[in-house]
Amino acid sequence: MAQFESLKQQFADAGVTVIFIAAEKRAGMFNPERFFQKHPSSFPFLLDEDRKVTKAWGVYQRLGTDAINIARPATFVVDARGTVRWIYVGTSQLDRAPIEAAIGKAREAK
């Protein structure tokens, strides 16, 4: 998330709204509530405690070599009409979409 903060103006210039979603309980293993107290985010953040959102978007991972009951890292570019224009789903918990690619796809979707 920190890398997104430093690129906030680039996202704004591209007309992008960034929203983070985590399949995590508020007081779960990684304690996101405490994390956000120490590291506030200027972007909206949804804690998908019941995993409904991550299941609906097809990124929920019940069990993997590096994950249990969470979402695979994923980036979706959705245009103003609600049409998904680009999807990147990581193959592991460390596999993230290249930010510049996501910004480029967002610009194309305008």
- Which of 27, 76, 19, 75 shows the shortest CA–CA distance to 36? 27
What domains can you pick out in the chain, each with its CATH number? 2-109 (3.40.30.10)
Say if CB 75 and CB 97 are below 8 A apart.
yes
Highest mean pLDDT among 6-10, 11-15, 18-22, 51-55: 51-55
pLDDT (average), residues 18-35: 86
Q: What is the pLDDT of residue 87?
A: 96
Structure confidence at residue 27 as a pLDDT band (50, 70, 90): confident
